[in-house]
Amino acid sequence: MADRPKSGKSHKEERKEYTYNKLKGLGQEIIEDIEKNKVPSLKIPSRGTGNIVFNDSKRYYELGERYGKRSLGNVKQIRKVGQMVYVGNFCKDLVAREKTATIREMYYVSEGWGISFKTQQESNIIGEDLEVKLGVTREDLGLMPEEDGASVYGDITLLDEVEINAAKMGKSGYTISPTIDQVEFLDHKVDKVLAVETMGMFHRLVQENAHKRFNCLIVGLKGQAARATRRFIKRVNEELNLPVYICNDGDPWGFHIAQVIISGSAKLAHVNDQLATPDAKFIGVTASDIINYDLPTDKLKDVDVMRLKELSKDPRYKSDFWQTEIKKMLKIGKKAEQQSFSKYGLEYVVDTYFPAKFEEMENQA
């Protein structure tokens, strides 16, 4: 993705100007073809599996160099080109007026365009095509998901229309906005981020004052982290220089939730540079934890075994750490949830487990 302009403008103003100019440029590209008596066409990076590559140096998936071409001279492509132009114009209006629309709302708005979408999946794909073409995120375009954001608790002060401190908003903390790139970080008094998969663990940590004990931000991921959550984690890691630690359920699905935060997903290869946090560390629950802490477990199902074997061949899991933990989990044939530490009491995870994990991380540094 291209670099944003360097100026004295706020993060929000900078991204708005960049996105608006990219959208304006899309229309100008078509106009210039017409003025040259050329059939208008658009080059769009391919999102096919053959063009998704894992960049070892960047440590995340990205798109390769293959492009596709959509031309108004191809009868089969006229509709898609028209839809992209309509979506681009719709988004340009959103950006100019500093408004947002959910992807569902855009689908219904298109009913009035005369070139509407047959399904929401079709409109979602055109939105993704626009992301890829312009090198911006869906959120920059003013298009929002339907799901609620994750929660953050701890001593960080943000400007999200009004000034907010995430440790002073009740026990649920600050809900990460889909427009997180329009939020300014004003101040913080923490030295790390602890992201946990379940809201049950999030609330346990808040109740036990883990944010004070470990001087950290606590992020409740709500399962697979939403794009806004991943963007927030990347921003605090890069802009505030806060190391990120992830603790999920000890199973292949928990492993993958962590890895998507660390190295991004193949599906979002076109925006992983904005979402992936390659320096984030997975600290548990590992197969080693299951053994060392004698945790209550469930037997791996066939689907778990198959998924672990898939992960072992994934380039994101090629490190000795991941290979060891995957093999160990397959060997013991067991998995465990985060809450399984409650076997030793509700406070155990804060009093014993996380202190040991953070000490282990410090020793490895």
Active-site residue list: 108
Using alpha carbons only, how large is the chain's radius of gyration in Å?
A: 22
Q: How far apart are CA 178 and CA 160, in angstroms?
A: 11
Q: CB of 66 within 8 A of CB of 48?
A: yes
Q: Which amino acid is at 309?
A: K
Longest Cα separation, the chain: 75
For the chain, report the end-to-end CA distance as a whole number of angstroms: 31
Structure tokens that stand for 53 in this block: 């590559």
User: What are the tokens at 249?
Assistant: 């359920």
Single-letter code of the amino acid located at 220: G
Q: Is 322 helix (H, G, I), strand (E, B) or coil?
A: helix
Q: How far is residue 348's CA from residue 342's CA, in Å, rounded to a whole number? A: 7
Tell me how far CA of residue 291 lies from CA of 261, 329, 331, in angstroms: 26, 10, 11
- 11 CB-contact burial (10 Å; exposed 0-12 / middle 13-18 / buried 19+): middle
Question: CB of 186 within 8 A of CB of 237?
Answer: no
- Strands in 139-259 per DSSP E: 143-144, 151-153, 156-160, 162-165, 174-175, 184-188, 192-196, 216-220, 244-247
Edge to edge, the sheet with strand 174-175 lists 174-175, 151-153, 216-220, 192-196, 244-247, 281-284
CA-nearest of 189, 230, 236 to 211 is 189
Beta bridge partners of 336: 250
